[in-house]
A and B are shown apart, each in its own frame.
Chain A
Amino acid sequence: MTDFTLWDIVRNLLLAGRWTVVLSLIAFAGGAFVGLMLTLLRMGGLWPIRWLVRLYVDLFQGTPLLMQLFLAYFGAAVLGFDISAWTAASVALTLFTSAFLCDIWRGCVEAVPSGQWQAARVLGLNYLQSMRHVILPQALRLAVPPTVGFSVQVIKGTALASVIGFVELTKAGTMLNNAAFAPFTIFALVALGYFILCYPLSRYARYLERKLYGAGSR
């Protein structure tokens, strides 16, 4: 059929897999930072700000990631910015991730009993002090399992960056298939690549959840 050996395919997929990992890390780190800022604004800001954050979250949750990637890549070009697939994918995935994390974390902050706010307030702590010393440490504990769980979505989401020409695992699979034409083998290997990245995270999230809600943890 071809002069591609299985090792050639695997080697190329592994090389491209690096970029899936890097893009996931960028999206996750960027998304976490933006998401934290949004969470704080949504919980404590003035109502127009809270409303804007909610709109932002709804917008990114209510549209396909694929459209967000198209808009970031082609939209920027229309507006006269010449941005690379790298930049477009990083920006789009960061915004996408931040919207979901903001929503997850808001839920975690709201899950801290109101008595904790009152106790902090009665002791004289202001909003930021209450957040920092009382609410966030407790919310953080609650937030770890769903956050780790969501990171799996981010990794799988990077696959869509292939459509704007970003060469990561999926795109590399497509390109290899064009040359070697062994779709079943290649895409099975691509899927396996994602599974190897995601499965430990899913397991870890489940483990954290059990630990958090296990007996005697409060």
Chain B
Amino acid sequence: MALVVVNDLHKSFGDLEVLKGIDLEIEAGEVVSIIGRSGSGKSTFLRCLNQLEHHDWGTIHLADQRLDGGAMSPGELSQNVGMVFQSFNLFPHKTVIENVMLAPVVVKQTPRAEARQVAEQMLDKVGMLEKIDAYPGQLSGGQQQRVAIARALAMQPKVLLCDEVTSALDPELVGEVLHVLESLAAEGMTLILVTHEMKFARDVSHRVVFMHHGHIHEAGDPQTLFTQPKTSELSQFIASIL
């Protein structure tokens, strides 16, 4: 049984139907990149996966457990699905270590000493251990995003969602964040990424999903998808970004 099973997901904003029936299964340890034009519904889909948006129809299961429709509290959700945002959204009034420790202490009620240990471990993983007492405002975008990844990992989720995590970064800082994601993938973390980094999608992901007008238009392994697109929409999309 797949780790994430999405069944017939529909979502509308008013009269605009953004998701028109998404079916997707993702295995544990799989890295899936979702690509597509803006407005294709890829970010909305990602936000449905951790219920930041509530879909109108369909179901989401994670490890055989129902995740949507209020079946999981926000606290439970956060221990199953982590998320990293385009704009980092670190808490500016807290230091790096406090950012990472907050949710384990407040939500999971982990003792502070233990939470600190986990936080240090995660910050080490993203190469931010030296900046433990810095405030987000003192860090570069790439460093902030790495802290944000550590913060999500500290809840020990089964899946990590990444919503265009390099789009707000200066080009020279993109590499360090992608490098962290690459090492997470190598460790067997399940990653679902909405991304514009086609090279990363091609080199690191196991599967690429092309969304178009609220549907999964085409999906498959990155090599085939990028070199032999089956549909004209995908080949146009690839041509437009290269």
Contacts and interface: CB of A to CB of B under 8 A. Distances in A.
Interface of A: 113, 115-116, 118-119, 121-126, 129, 133-134, 137-138, 141, 216, 218
B175 interface: no
B91 A124 contact: no
Interface stretch (B62-70, B72-80, B224-232): B72-80
Given A119-B91, A122-B78, A125-B102, 6 more contacts: A118-B52, A122-B52, A123-B152, A126-B74, A133-B102, A138-B91
B74 A121 contact: yes
29 contacts: A115-B87, A115-B89, A116-B91, A119-B85, A119-B91, A122-B50, A122-B82, A122-B83, A123-B78, A123-B107, A123-B151, A124-B73, A124-B76, A124-B103, A124-B108, A124-B155, A125-B103, A125-B107, A126-B74, A126-B75, A133-B102, A133-B106, A134-B91, A134-B102, A137-B93, A138-B91, A141-B93, A218-B92, A218-B137
Contacts of A123: 78, 102-103, 107, 151-152, 155
Nearest to B86: A115
Nearest to B81: A122
Interface in B46-74: 50, 52, 73-74
Interface of B: 50, 52, 73-79, 82-83, 85, 87, 89-93, 102-103, 106-108, 137, 151-152, 155
A124 B72 CA distance: 11
Nearest to A115: B89
A141 B87 CA distance: 21
Contacts of A115: 85, 87, 89
Contacts of B155: 123-124
Given A121-B74, A124-B75, A218-B137, A129 B106 contact: yes
Contacts of A141: 93
A141 B78 CA distance: 28
Contacts of B74: 121, 124-126
Nearest to B90: A119
Contacts of B52: 118, 121-122
Nearest to B105: A133
A37 to B, nearest CB: 22
Contacts of B90: 119
A119 B83 CA distance: 8
Contacts of A218: 92, 137
B91 A125 contact: no
Nearest to A126: B74
Contacts of B76: 124
Contacts of B77: 124
B107 A124 contact: yes
A116 B94 CA distance: 12
Contacts of B78: 122-124
